[in-house]
């Protein structure tokens, strides 16, 4: 399959699409005009696909500097009557939350869909916050898909709903929707005007206190209308058992998959209420369901949001059904669910006779961990090596390393231990000031280029003004590497694939008032460690830009050009000091019983190891 197939294949074609790709098809079918994002796993591929297709699909798409900017652009676009989408990972919505809260008050004219990609089990995130709370918090309708096809359907449903209610709508996915591949049948593409017109109405769009005063009750009215729609929405549906049953299961979002599969697999005779439109909940539908079943089990991943409302409803209506969920510890409140977890709990409650124990025991092996690591040739490794060397040469042992969100957080692993404190995007800069004011320790902060543009500029400005003292190393690899190499304001290309002005990192840093700034090539270990040593002797805020393209991107280019020079070890010279293994830790270098070797298939040919070897045993291959 080619990415273009998402746009070009005829209606009725079946494609095997990732949830993220399916949602892009949804944007296309719904005639979306404007789409914005800041990349973040598990939502990243939505942007990657749009980056390819936006122009051909006549959608304006941008990689915004951060989620707040992305949200603001989409909100304003939708206020002109066109359809707009903004998408981000769950913690990205925290960045946009200020705008999100007001957007519920001022509403929208064209459809405005906010996609929040949550990450239960934290496959690639710092927490597993349940963003369904944002729907309740802000007062916005909430949709939860269970598959790629349904995600596509809900994009269209959500945009229409948003227009009907004049309210933004949240589509909340989880990793097991974003990163599931399933079959999607292409549907018709709606043709809509791509340009809107902004009809002014400050009473609607400007929440100064006197106007906002009237907006809150209006929002509650809209939510009542939303609840009425939810009552009869096809996204909330009852799946009845063949025989009458006392057991009623309520499944919200992705948990439906596990419940449905358990019912089918074990032939459980239970009724199932599938909820896809989960805020506002269809309370009448739920009341009917609860009052006609004496045993209710509520299955939802992470937080008991639906359960809490169901329990409140039961209390209010004097329903005496037994309700099970998280409040009574029937189901876990942490991590993503699996068929295993849900199946065991359901069978235990409904039909314990069906439990069988396997007749074999899985043998257990002591296996080495395989955590993600910095790639061979990664410029961050070279920078960390120089930091370690500089600190050693200066005899500093207790320096603090505030770090940030990106590949370089992997520097936390041995031998670098180069991440001591991380809160969120941009926190390496802000927290450095806290450590400076509260300790006498030396502080070296690490932030990537994309993260610096995203959330590092304002705290740097704060640090200069408030006379903080630390060294900030901006690890500039020209891209948003961790999420799959998306452009950012320092790139010369934009979301549409067009040429774009490059915002110079050093100019930004200088304009903020940082006087001490050095740009180094991290592969030049001597220059880098000298710069670090010099910075440690200076007062105030110092910035080193450690600049070198991401080795993964470079490797792609090298592969296109053919073969490239690699490093080999002259085993006659190698003294087996193991500095390359223990202090440098490149994944291409490994030790067998009595030899150190380089895996040629992994060697990136960066040549940095040549400079760390004290006996010059590392040499370029002939």
Partner 1 sequence: MNKNYLAILIAGVGGQGILKAGTLLGEAALLENKKIISTEVHGMAQRGGSVINEIKIGEVQSPLINKGEADIILSFEPAEALRVLDKASPETYLIVNTNPIIPLTVSSGLSTYPDLNLAWKIVRDIYPRLKLINARKIALEAGNSITENVVLLGVLCSVPIFPISTESMMKAIENGFPPKFRELNLKAFNLGLEKGKEGISLL
Q: Min. distance of Cβ 1 from partner 1 in angstroms?
A: 6
Pick between residue 320 and residue 601 the one whose CB is nearest to partner 1: 601
β-bridge pairing 541-547 and 169-174: unpaired
Q: Which member of 112, 247, 258, 453 binds partner 1 (CB under 8 A)?
A: 258
Q: Assign 3-class secondary structure to 107-124.
A: CCCCCEEEEEEECCCCCC
Rounded CA separation 348/362 (Å): 23
Q: Which member of 209, 358, 562, 614 binds partner 1 (CB under 8 A)?
A: 358
Pick between residue 32 and residue 598 the one whose CB is nearest to partner 1: 598
Q: Min. distance of Cβ 212 from partner 1 in angstroms?
A: 39
Question: Crossing angle for the helix pair 44-53 and 19-30, nearest 10 degrees?
Answer: 50
Rounded CA separation 107/101 (Å): 10
Pick between residue 243 and residue 438 the one whose CB is nearest to partner 1: 243
Q: Which of residues 5-24 bind partner 1 (CB under 8 A)?
A: 14-16, 18
Pairs from 5-13 (Cβ < 8 Å, separation ≥ 24): 6/49, 6/53, 7/53, 7/56, 7/57, 9/186, 10/186, 11/186, 11/187, 11/188, 11/189, 12/185, 12/186, 13/185, 13/186
Q: Min. distance of Cβ 508 from partner 1 in angstroms?
A: 28
Q: Which range of residues in 196-204, 309-317, 365-373, 517-525 is near partner 1 by CB under 8 A? A: 365-373
Q: Which member of 11, 58, 123, 616 binds partner 1 (CB under 8 A)?
A: 123
Q: Min. distance of Cβ 539 from partner 1 in angstroms?
A: 37
Examine residue 260 and tell whether it contacts partner 1 (CB under 8 A): yes
Q: Which range of residues in 293-301, 317-325, 541-549, 586-594 is near partner 1 by CB under 8 A? A: 586-594
Q: At 27, phi and psi to the nearest 5?
A: -60, -45
Q: How many residues bind partner 1 (CB under 8 A)?
A: 64
Rounded CA separation 139/219 (Å): 7
Q: Is 601 exposed, middle or buried (0-12, 13-18, 19+ CB in 10 A)?
A: exposed
Rounded CA separation 512/497 (Å): 30
Q: Min. distance of Cβ 63 from partner 1 in angstroms?
A: 17
**3-class state of residue 17 by DSSP:** strand
Examine residue 370 and tell whether it contacts partner 1 (CB under 8 A): yes
Q: Which member of 243, 601, 614, 622 binds partner 1 (CB under 8 A)?
A: 601
Q: Which of residues 317-356 bind partner 1 (CB under 8 A)?
A: 338-340, 343, 354
Q: Which two tokens stand for residue 156?
A: 């269209």
Examine residue 363 and tell whether it contacts partner 1 (CB under 8 A): yes
Q: Which member of 76, 218, 373, 464 binds partner 1 (CB under 8 A)?
A: 373
Q: Min. distance of Cβ 261 from partner 1 in angstroms?
A: 5
Q: Which of residues 125-184 bind partner 1 (CB under 8 A)?
A: 146-147, 176, 179-183
Q: Min. distance of Cβ 486 from partner 1 in angstroms?
A: 13
Pick between residue 564 and residue 590 the one whose CB is nearest to partner 1: 590
Contact yes or no for 11/37 (Cβ under 8 A): no
Pick between residue 309 and residue 336 the one whose CB is nearest to partner 1: 336
Examine residue 257 and tell whether it contacts partner 1 (CB under 8 A): yes
Pick between residue 43 and residue 386 the one whose CB is nearest to partner 1: 43
Examine residue 590 and tell whether it contacts partner 1 (CB under 8 A): yes
Pairs from 150-154 (Cβ < 8 Å, separation ≥ 24): 150/276, 151/19, 151/22, 151/23, 151/26, 151/177, 152/22, 152/23, 152/25, 152/26, 152/29, 152/184, 153/26, 154/26, 154/235, 154/276
Q: Min. distance of Cβ 258 from partner 1 in angstroms?
A: 6
Pick between residue 12 and residue 414 the one whose CB is nearest to partner 1: 414
Burial 484-522 (b: 16+ CB within 10 A, else e): ebbbbbbbeebbbeeebeeeebbebbeebebeebbebeb
Examine residue 374 and tell whether it contacts partner 1 (CB under 8 A): yes
Q: Which member of 587, 610, 612, 619 binds partner 1 (CB under 8 A)?
A: 587
Rounded CA separation 393/206 (Å): 58
Q: Which of residues 45-64 bind partner 1 (CB under 8 A)?
A: 45
The size of the chain, in residues, is 622
Q: Which of residues 472-501 bind partner 1 (CB under 8 A)?
A: 482-483
Helix (H) or strand (E) holding 176: helix 175-178
Q: At 250, phi and psi to the nearest 5?
A: -115, 120
Contact yes or no for 110/76 (Cβ under 8 A): no
CA 541 to chain centre: 31
Examine residue 223 and tell whether it contacts partner 1 (CB under 8 A): no
Pick between residue 100 and residue 374 the one whose CB is nearest to partner 1: 374
**3-class state of residue 336 by DSSP:** coil
Rounded CA separation 584/611 (Å): 11
Pick between residue 108 and residue 147 the one whose CB is nearest to partner 1: 147
Examine residue 372 and tell whether it contacts partner 1 (CB under 8 A): yes
Examine residue 266 and tell whether it contacts partner 1 (CB under 8 A): yes
Pick between residue 31 and residue 448 the one whose CB is nearest to partner 1: 448
CA 488 to chain centre: 16
Pick between residue 197 and residue 360 the one whose CB is nearest to partner 1: 360
Q: Which range of residues in 101-109, 405-413, 538-546, 565-573 is near partner 1 by CB under 8 A? A: 405-413
Contact yes or no for 119/90 (Cβ under 8 A): yes
Contact yes or no for 273/289 (Cβ under 8 A): yes
Q: Which member of 188, 234, 353, 360 binds partner 1 (CB under 8 A)?
A: 360
Q: Which range of residues in 250-258, 318-326, 391-399, 527-535 is near partner 1 by CB under 8 A? A: 250-258
Nearby residues of 155 by Cβ (< 8 Å), 6 or more positions away:
23, 26, 27, 29, 30, 85, 113, 115, 171
Q: Is 321 exposed, middle or buried (0-12, 13-18, 19+ CB in 10 A)?
A: middle
Q: Which range of residues in 39-47, 324-332, 518-526, 541-549 is near partner 1 by CB under 8 A? A: 39-47
State the residues that interact with partner 1 by CB under 8 A.
Answer: 1, 14-16, 18, 41-42, 44-45, 123-124, 146-147, 176, 179-183, 256-258, 260-261, 264-267, 338-340, 343, 354, 358, 360-363, 365-375, 407, 410, 413-415, 482-483, 581-582, 585, 587, 589-591, 601
């Amino acid at each position: 399959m080619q990415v273009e197939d998402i746009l070009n294949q005829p209606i009725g074609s079946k494609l095997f699409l990732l949830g993220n790709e399916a949602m892009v098809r949804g944007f296309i079918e719904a005639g979306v005009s404007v789409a914005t994002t800041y990349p973040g796993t598990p939502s990243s591929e939505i942007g990657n696909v749009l980056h390819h297709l936006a122009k051909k699909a006549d959608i304006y798409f941008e990689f915004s500097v951060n989620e707040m900017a992305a949200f603001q652009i989409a909100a304003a676009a939708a206020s002109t009557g066109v359809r707009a989408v903004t998408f981000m990972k769950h913690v990205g919505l925290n960045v946009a939350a200020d705008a999100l809260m007001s957007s519920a008050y001022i509403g929208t004219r064209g459809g405005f869909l906010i996609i929040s990609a949550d990450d239960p089990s934290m496959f690639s995130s710092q927490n597993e916050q349940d963003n369904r709370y944002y729907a309740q918090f802000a007062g916005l309708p909430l949709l939860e898909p269970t598959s790629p096809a349904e995600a596509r359907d809900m994009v269209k449903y959500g945009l229409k709903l948003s227009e009907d209610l004049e309210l933004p709508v949240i589509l909340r996915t989880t990793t097991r929707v974003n990163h599931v591949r399933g079959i999607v049948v292409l549907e018709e593409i709606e043709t809509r005007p791509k340009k809107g017109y902004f009809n002014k109405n400050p009473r609607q769009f400007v929440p100064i206190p006197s106007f906002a005063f009237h907006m809150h009750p209006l929002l509650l009215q809209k939510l009542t209308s939303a609840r009425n729609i939810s009552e009869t929405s096809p996204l909330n549906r009852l799946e009845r058992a063949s025989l009458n049953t006392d057991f009623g299961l309520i499944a919200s979002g992705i948990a439906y998959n596990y419940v449905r599969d358990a019912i089918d697999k074990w032939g459980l005779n239970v009724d199932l209420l599938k909820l896809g439109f989960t805020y506002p909940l269809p309370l009448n539908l739920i009341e009917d369901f609860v009052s006609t079943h004496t045993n209710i089990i509520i299955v939802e991943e992470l937080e008991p949001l639906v359960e809490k409302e169901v329990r409140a409803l039961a209390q209010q209506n004097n329903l005496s059904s037994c309700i099970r969920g998280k409040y009574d510890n029937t189901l876990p409140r942490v991590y993503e669910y699996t068929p295993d977890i849900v199946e065991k709990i359901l069978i235990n409650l409904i039909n314990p006779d069906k439990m069988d124990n396997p007749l074999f025991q899985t043998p257990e092996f002591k296996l080495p961990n395989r955590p993600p690591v910095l790639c061979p040739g990664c410029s961050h490794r070279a920078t960390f090596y120089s930091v370690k060397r500089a600190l050693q040469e200066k005899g500093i042992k207790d320096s603090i390393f505030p770090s940030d969100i990106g590949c370089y957080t992997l520097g936390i692993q041995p031998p670098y231990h180069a991440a001591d404190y991380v809160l969120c995007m941009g926190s390496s800069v802000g927290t450095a000031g806290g450590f400076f004011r509260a300790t006498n320790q030396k502080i070296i902060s690490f932030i990537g280029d994309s993260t610096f543009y995203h959330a590092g500029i304002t705290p740097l400005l704060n640090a200069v003004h408030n006379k903080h003292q630390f060294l900030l190393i901006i690890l500039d690899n020209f891209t948003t590497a961790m999420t799959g190499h998306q452009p950012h304001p320092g790139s010369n290309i934009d979301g549409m694939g067009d040429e774009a002005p490059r915002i110079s990192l050093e100019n930004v840093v200088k304009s903020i008032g940082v006087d001490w700034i050095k740009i180094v090539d991290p592969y030049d270990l001597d220059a880098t460690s000298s710069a670090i040593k010099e910075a440690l002797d200076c007062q105030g805020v110092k910035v080193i830009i450690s600049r070198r393209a991401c080795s993964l991107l470079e490797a792609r280019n090298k592969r296109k050009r053919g073969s490239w020079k690699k490093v080999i070890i002259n085993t006659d010279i190698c003294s087996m000091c193991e500095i390359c293994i223990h202090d440098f830790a490149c994944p291409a270098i490994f030790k067998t019983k009595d030899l150190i070797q380089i895996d040629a298939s992994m060697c990136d040919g960066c040549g940095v190891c040549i400079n760390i070897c004290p006996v010059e045993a590392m040499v370029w291959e002939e």
